[in-house]
Amino acid sequence: MEIIIQPDPAATSEMAARIVARLVRDHRRAVLGLATGKTPLRLYAELARMHRDENLDFSRVTTFNLDEYVGLPPEHPSSCHSFMTEHLFRHINIELARVHVPDGMADDIPACCSRYERYIRESGGIDLQILGIGRQGHIGFNEPSSSLASRTRLKTLTETTRSDNAEEFGGVEHVPRHVITMGIGTIMGSGMCLLLAFGKEKATAVAQTVEGPVSAMVPASALQMHEHTTVLVDEEAASELRLADYYRHVFEQKPEWQRP
């Protein structure tokens, strides 16, 4: 696990965008795992800028989103599908046939989840998975106590998560109680995981993820066992890391060819 501390969310997001762009340029048929929420907004804006100003080509890229709310059609303004369309897809040259988001309106949710796993396998697997982290240490919507071997499935949201997402729904009473989410095992099958976190409210979750024990009570801590995870955080999100100075030192000593 590599931990990179940057001054602020803007610098962190720009570095994350460079990592994603390098993959897209080197592997034109790259498969990206995408996240929604406030955390990746600057990252997606920078990727859109790179497409516009630097001809970053997404025409052969395939994407899989981490999750979707159950009961929301794709056109619902608070759906994950709408989020991705608004903040990324309509700004780049991606083919919509290569875009995959779980079907929140599926009649048979277990079958829908099985198909999603099959589509990921048939694509060759996710090359790079973008992740945010919840205050309770969840990634995707894998709430505390989620199996570390779990695959794409139905999950019930905690009230903390529903409260954290209330603003985008106009009140917690409008937030769905269920979601379809990739499991921890699905995420761990990605070639690389890129976790972003900003702000003091994420500092405890980041510290538990990076320096705490691997535990289902902090689902993101499973990333300690991943072969290639990069954790990109701003100074505030890094404020509870005991080895923050060491992480800074390691990054400063990296040879130029290893730097994002």
pLDDT, the chain, mean: 96
Report d(CA 120, CA 15) in Å as an integer: 26
CATH fold label, 2-255 = Rossmann fold (3.40.50)
pLDDT(260) > 90: no
Per-residue pLDDT, averaged over 61-81, amounts to 96
- 229 beta partners: 193
Whether residue 142 contacts residue 183, with contact meaning beta carbons closer than 8 Å, is answered with yes
Strand partners, 6: 234
> What's the half-sphere exposure (Cβ side, CA atoms, 13 Å) at 193?
28
Euclidean distance between CA atoms 192 and 229, whole angstroms = 6
Give the percent of the chain with pLDDT over 70.
100
Is residue 195 predicted with pLDDT exceeding 90? yes
For the chain, what percent of residues have pLDDT higher than 90? 95
pLDDT for the residue 55: 97
- For the cut 90, the answer to whether the pLDDT of residue 168 exceeds it is no
What average pLDDT score do residues 48-56 get? Answer: 98
pLDDT band at 258 (very low <50, low <70, confident <90, very high): confident
pLDDT in tens, 88-127: 999 999 999 999 999 999 999 999 999 999 999 999 999 9
pLDDT value of residue 218: 98
- For residue 28, the model assigns a pLDDT of 82
Residues 73 and 198: their CA atoms lie apart, in Å, by 30
CA gap 182, 25 in Å, rounded = 26
Report, as an integer, the average pLDDT of 122-147.
96
- Dump pLDDT digits (tens) for 10-49: 999 999 999 999 999 999 899 999 999 999 999 999 999 9
Q: Provide the residue ranges of all domains of the chain, joining segments of one domain with +.
A: 2-255
pLDDT of residue 11: 97
Structure tokens at 168: 């985008």
Q: What's the predicted TM-score (pTM) here?
A: 0.95
Q: Taking the CB of residue 53, how many other CB atoms lie within 10 A of it? A: 8
Helix H segments across the chain?
9-26, 41-54, 80-87, 109-122, 159-164, 166-169, 184-188, 203-211, 244-252
Q: Rounded to 5 degrees, what are φ and ψ at 139? A: -125, 145
